[in-house]
A and B are shown apart, each in its own frame.
Chain A
Amino acid sequence: MAAGDLVEFGKALGAGLAMGLGALGPGIGIGLLGAGAMQAIGRNPEATGQIQINMMLGIVFAEAVAIYALVAALIIKFV
Chain B
Amino acid sequence: MSRAEHAADRAARWVLAQEEESWSAADQAEFDAWLSESDGNRTAYLRLRHSWREADRISALGRSLPEPAERVAYRPPWRRYVPFGIAASIVLALGGTYLYRPEALQPETEQVLGASYATPVGSRKIIAFTDGSKVELNTASKVRTAVRPKSREVWLDQGEAFFEVARKEDQPFIVYAGNRQITVLGTKFSVRRDGEKVTVSVLEGRVRVDEIEQGQAVRFAVIVGGDIAIARGSATLVASHSEQKVEDALAWRRGMLSFDRSNLGEIATEFNRYNAKKLVVVDPETAALRIGGMFPSNDPDAFVRVLSEAYGLKVEETPTEVRITN
A joins B in a complex: no
User: B residues near A, CB below 8 A?
Assistant: none
